Structure 1
C-alpha cells in the first residue's frame, strides 16, 4: 500500500537516504545569501509509489513567521515536515533552508542530491516535535534533553544542564528533571519533547499534530506551552494541526492543503472567518462540527 503523510514518524535521529531527484542547475552565485525566505519549497514533488503526495509544491516561510498547515489526512502536510527533517527524500524540486539547499548540495555550478553529512549540517537549524513523544525511556528527563546538545553541538554538560533546567521551568516541569518518562503523563512527556527540541536552539520549530496522541484533558496544557513560546520568542514555527483554535491564536498565516497542493492561504481571521474556497469551507465545517 502507498504510504500516506499520516504514517507515524520514525525516531528523530533516523537518517534518510540520498534524494532521488535529478541534478539541476545551481542558481547564480549570490542568489541565496540568507536574505530571502527562511524556508523555500521550489516545485517539490514527493511520491510514495504511484501516490503523488506533493505536486510541484511552491511555498515560502519567512524568518519569525508562524505558519499552520491544515487540511484532510493524506493531503501532504506531515510529508512537508518530514522532508524538512530529511526523514523522507524529494522526487523532484529543491528545498532551501536559510538560503542553503537542504535536499541538494552545490557541486561546482550544479545542484546534486545531498549526502547525509550535508543534510545533517543544514538540518541543525531545525527542531521537530512529533505526534509520538519519542523520548528515551531508559534515560531521565535531564538526559533526554541534554544528550543531543552535548554530543551534536559540543555544548558542555554544565551548560546543557542549565539550559534543561530553564526549559523545564518554562514548560512547567521544573520538578521533573530527574524523573523517567515512564513516570510522566502523556501531556508531561510531550512538554518534555518540546523542551528537548528547544534545547538545540533551532531557528525553526516543526510541530506535527503534537496533541493527537493525548487524552483530551491533557491537550490544553501542551497548547498553552506552545502559545507561550509563540508569544515570547521569535522562533519560526511550521505546524500541522487539527486544533483550529490553536491555529487561529498563534498563526501569522494558514495554508489549506488538499491532494498535495495549497488550495487557499491567508491570515487566520480570513481563513477561519471568510474562506474563499469551497474546499476550505467544507473542511472547516467538518472539523468544527466534529469538535
Structure 2
C-alpha cells in the first residue's frame, strides 16, 4: 500500500529528536495521527510521552526533525529552497488548532469560571463577548457545571476544576486535543467521571486526540491506537485489543504487567 500524503494526517512527526544537553529524550521519532483518531501514549516515566505534547504546544522546540499539524508545518517555514525554524508568530497561528488539558488544571485563579472559558476565545479567535459567553454556557452544560458559572476555581473540587479545564480547551474549538495525565491529580473517586466525560467527547466530536495516561482501562476502552514508548522510541504501535491482550514486545509485556499489578 502506498504511503498516504501529509494531508491524510492531522499530526505528523518526522525524524523528531529532542535533547536537553547530552540527555536524549526523543530520538528520530516518526509517527502520525489521522483526523478524528484517538491515540494514546503509554510507557514508563521519562520515556518522552509528555515531551511530545509539549512540542506540539510549542512549550519546547525540536532539536531536529519536523512536526506537521493538518498539513502545515508547526516547527519550520520554507525560505527559498530550505526549511528554517519557524518564528513565534507562525507557531502561534498553527497552534490555534490545538488545545491541551494539563495534569494540574492550570485555571486562572483570579477569574471566575465564565472568564476562564471566554478570555482566550475573545483574545485569540476574535469572538465577540456574547459569542464567547454563549459557547461557554454550552460547554459548562456539557461538562455538568452550568451552576458553577460564577464560581472561582478555588471554590471547586479537583474533579470540577478538571471539567472546567476540559471545557476551556474545547472553547477554543480545537482540531486536536492533547491530554496529559488528566486524572493524576484527582482523588480516585473523581477519576471515573472525568474519563467518562472525555470518552463522550471523543465519541460525539471529530476532534483528534493525543493522550498520555496511566489509566490502562481508559486507554483500552477509548483508543483507536496505543503507542508504547520506552527511551524515546516507539516500541509497539497497535490497536488496544492487540496491545493489551497479545503484545508483540517483551518490553510492552513487562510494562503492562507492572502497571496492572500496581493498579
Report the TM range for the smaller structure's normalisation: over 0.9
Aligned match for 1:269, one of 235, 241, 257: 241
Partner of 2:24: 52
1:110 deviates by 1.5
Instruction: Give me the whole-angstrom Cα distance separating, in 1, the residues matched to 2:5 and 2:95.
Output: 17
Partner of 1:129: 101
**Where do 1:37-48 residues align within 5 Å?**
37-48=9-20
Per-residue CA deviations over 1:235-275 (Å, capped at 9, x if unaligned) read 10000000011101110000000000000010000001111
Partner of 1:245: 217
1:108 deviates by 2.0
Identify if the C-alpha distance between structure 1 residues 289 and 55 changes in structure 2 by more than 3 Å, giving closer, same or farther.
Answer: same
1:179 is paired with a residue whose SS is coil
Structure 2 segments unaligned to the other structure (5+ residues): none
Partner of 1:112: 84
Partner of 2:136: 164
The structure where helix makes up a greater share of residues is 2
Structure 1 segments unaligned to the other structure (5+ residues): 1-31
Contact 2:6 2:12 in 1 (8 A): no
Partner of 2:260: 288
Per-residue CA deviations over 1:205-264 (Å, capped at 9, x if unaligned) read 000000011111111111111011011111100000000111011100000000000000
Partner of 1:213: 185
Instruction: Give me the whole-angstrom Cα distance separating, in 2, the residues matched to 1:128 and 1:202.
Output: 9
Aligned match for 2:114, one of 120, 142, 155: 142
- What do you get for the CA RMSD once the two structures are aligned? 1.1
Greater than 3 Å deviation, 4+ residue runs: none
Q: Give the TM-score, by structure 2 length.
A: 0.97
Number of positions where the alignment pairs a residue of Structure 1 with one of Structure 2: 260
2:254 is paired with a residue whose SS is helix
Instruction: Give me the whole-angstrom Cα distance separating, in 2, the residues matched to 1:140 and 1:106.
Output: 42
1:117 deviates by 0.1
1:33 deviates by 8.2
